Amino acid sequence: MALPTPFRSSIGEHCYLTYGDDGCVRIMSEDNFRAEADEMLEAVKRGEISRSRQRAFASSVVVGALDKQGRLVVDPRLREHAGIEPQAPVVVLGVFDRIEIWEPGRYEAEESAGQNEIAGDSEGRGGQ
């Protein structure tokens, strides 16, 4: 997939793709990935998260690099996690410290839930 131009400079020479929360693909710069991995290691040591979660995260990580046209290969496992079909349209979203790739229908549902929370709907996504 072609990464929109504004996002290209933020990820550097290499980036890290992994399962994202809520069913998206997450892209992180090397610095952000290292910081998250370090936080996860410390959380496992403190017993705050399981080693199973740590393994699942680690096994999902794919190192990526943009080609000269700004394209990035998204691993089939990550596409499957996000419900993204090959050659299908996607939503690419900058979320402060990461980039997310969404199947449009899933993103629409997430955006709606977030807007409901902002509007004061304490139920958000049906109480989740």
Alpha helices in 1-128 (DSSP H): 5-11, 30-45, 51-60, 76-82, 104-118
Binned at pLDDT 50, 70 and 90, residue 122 comes out as: low
On the question of pLDDT at 126 being above 70, the answer is no
Across 11-20, 79-88, 90-99, 115-124, least confident range: 115-124
In a domain, 105, yes or no: yes
Is pTM beyond 0.85 here? no
Euclidean distance between CA atoms 11 and 22, whole angstroms: 22
In a domain, 27, yes or no: yes
The total number of structural domains that make up the chain: 1
Across 4-8, 63-67, 74-78, least confident range: 4-8
In a domain, 124, yes or no: no
In a domain, 81, yes or no: yes
- What is the CATH classification number for the domain harbouring 25? 3.40.1550.20
**Percent of the chain, pLDDT > 70?**
95
In a domain, 123, yes or no: no
Expressed as residue numbers, the domain containing 14 is 5-118
In a domain, 126, yes or no: no
